[in-house]
Amino acid sequence: MILAELEVLIRQIEIRKHSKVKTQRSGSIISARAGRGLDFKEVREYIVGDDTRHIDWNVSSRMGELYVKEYHQENDRIINIFLDSSASMFTGGEGNYSKFFIGFQFMAFATLLFLYGGDRIHLCSYSDEIEFISQAIKTKPQAYSILRKFYLKESSRKKTDHLLPFKFIKDKISRNSITYIISDFANLPSLEHYKSLMKIHDLNGIKIFDNIEVLNSDLFKLFFMKNPENGQGGVYHSSKEEDEQIIQDYFKGNLLRLNTKERLAAPIVRYLTK
Whether the CB-CB separation of 105 and 7 falls below 8 Å is answered with no
Flag whether 24 is in a domain.
no
Looking at the structure of the chain, the number of domains it has is 2
Same domain, 195 and 254: yes
* Domain span holding position 246: 76-272
Which of the residue ranges 72-81, 178-187, 215-224, 252-261 would you say has the lowest mean pLDDT?
A: 215-224
β-strands 38-45, 67-73 pairing: antiparallel
Same domain, 63 and 162: no
Most confident of 51-55, 73-77, 242-246: 242-246
Flag whether 119 is in a domain.
yes
Please state, in angstroms and rounded to a whole number, the distance separating the CA atoms of residues 134 and 145: 11
* Domain end point (choices 53, 74, 95): 74
pLDDT at 256: 98
Q: How far is CA 227 from the centre of its chain?
A: 28
pLDDT at 114: 92
Same domain, 156 and 222: yes
Same domain, 87 and 170: yes
What is the layout of strands, in order, in the sheet containing 255-259?
Answer: 130-133, 120-126, 78-84, 178-183, 202-209, 255-259
pLDDT at 47: 81
Same domain, 52 and 98: no
For residue 27, pLDDT over 50 is answered with no
For residue 190, pLDDT over 60 is answered with yes
Higher pLDDT, 228 or 61: 61
- For 194-200, what is the mean pLDDT? 95
pLDDT at 25: 36
H or E segment and range at residue 248:
helix 240-251
Same domain, 122 and 236: yes
Flag whether 105 is in a domain.
yes
Flag whether 25 is in a domain.
no
pLDDT at 155: 79
Higher pLDDT, 177 or 38: 177
Average pLDDT, the chain: 83
